[in-house]
Amino acid sequence: MNMILLDYYDLAIAAALVGVLALSSVMLGLGMGRQLVIAALRTAVQLSIVGLILKVLFENLHLGWMTLVAGVMLLAAGREVMQRQQHRFRGAWGYGMGTTSMFLSSFTLTLFALLVIIGNQPWYQPQYAIPLLGMMLGNTMSGIALGLDRLTSSAMAHRTSIEARLMLGHSWSQAISTIRRESMRVGMIPMINAMAAAGLVSLPGMMTGQILAGSPPLEAVKYQILIMFLITAGTGFGTMTAVWLGARRLFDERQRLRLDRLYKKN
């Protein structure tokens, strides 16, 4: 099967649809027109830059360059997690919790998949490593952002209840246990929904891309199952780690609730 190549005229047609949507948003007073245009421009610029970088990486395979690209991806994902919080942590903690959690979950599982499951040689070939790490970071980032946002918002809303439990002699972990569990659950819901709907409601992106590129459908299915299992595990472990670190940060060494460690709003 031959792959159909797109030209810039095809992309312009798709971009025009986003432009019409932005114009409709302005006419309806939704206040989303500017955000749509900026997001579309960022998508085009960022993906074009990534394409050029991947082209260079494919032509100059080196572990050092791969490590640099992976590090930049991780740092950018950490920033996005922090920016999406309504009540984010002050200082380096706001950035460090998400970044550390993604490193411990996404990086570890990506490395495991490349070395043990896929087994390509060398294991850091960019055509495998970069897309896999990107999918892992993107989905883990969303889960962590949702989990931390629920944690901090709930702590703000239920401050009196938490402090009452502390006064009754509960430890910090007991005082916030219900909120912590709910926050972890919220962070994991999107991936559970994605797995439950895969094949019935939607065809996931990687599988669709492989089929469009001419891969046999059953091979595309096997890769998609692998990716979804890895992403789910990475999102779950990353969200659990971030929420636990965030919950601990809400209390000081004397187990007092410290909401002054949060910004009130973005």
Taking only the tens place, the pLDDT of each residue in 227-239 is 889 999 999 999 9
Residue 7 CB burial class (10 angstroms; 0-12, 13-18, ≥19): exposed
Cα–Cα distance for residue pair 227/232, rounded to 1 Å: 8
Taking only the tens place, the pLDDT of each residue in 21-65 is 999 999 988 888 898 999 999 999 988 988 888 888 888 888 888
Tokens of 218: 């059953």
> 241 pLDDT band (50/70/90 cuts)?
very high
Residue ranges per structural domain of the chain: 1-60, 63-261
Give residue 266's pLDDT: 47
Tokens of 60: 């100059």
Cα–Cα distance for residue pair 148/102, rounded to 1 Å: 13
> Half-sphere exposure of 253 toward its Cβ, with a 13 Å CA cutoff?
0
